Amino acid sequence: MDEDLWKIGLGAPLDAGADLRSAHAAVARRSKESDMPADTRTDNLTAVVRYALETTRATIVCPFHEDVIIRVGDDAAESHAFERAKKIVRSDGTTWEGKALREEPGRQLSAASDGRCSKCDSSGLRV
């Protein structure tokens, strides 16, 4: 039955081995959890911490106001973001200084809006 559907373009034959191989290939392409997009500068601590906070879903960007960062309020995500940022190395192979790395997430989280976008609230937009 599955093979008949595949022949007419409505499905693909089941091949669990192919799915497993593609999953292994995806893991191999991603050498570390701390892989960052090419446009993120690893020598900029602010950018590194912002990347870590966003990718762990500790913060999000308002979908209507790109300049507003919203703190989600998930303590586990915030802790995970700190651990992720610790693993990101600078372009020269060194890691970030402990004090600076401990202070930057707190600075960014305190600057973020708590739970809601302040611009959306002031404009009356209900999200």
**Could you tell me the residue range of the domain that residue 15 belongs to?**
1-30
Q: Does residue 26 share a domain with residue 43?
A: no
- The domain total for the chain is 2
**pLDDT given at position 37:** 55
**pLDDT given at position 97:** 87
Neighbours of 120 (CB within 10 A): 18
Q: Does residue 25 share a domain with residue 59?
A: no
Q: Does residue 24 share a domain with residue 41?
A: no
Q: CA 105 to CA 111: how far, in whole Å?
A: 10
**pLDDT given at position 56:** 96
pTM of structure: 0.65
Q: Does residue 88 share a domain with residue 59?
A: yes
Helix axes 45-55, 98-111, angle to 10 degrees: 60
Helix residue spans in 70-115 (DSSP H): 75-87, 98-111
Residues of the chain with pLDDT under 70: 1-41, 125-127
Contact between residue 89 and residue 95 where contact means Cβ atoms under 8 Å apart: yes
**pLDDT given at position 7:** 46
List Cβ neighbours of 45 (8 Å cut-off, separation of 6 or more): 96, 100, 101, 104
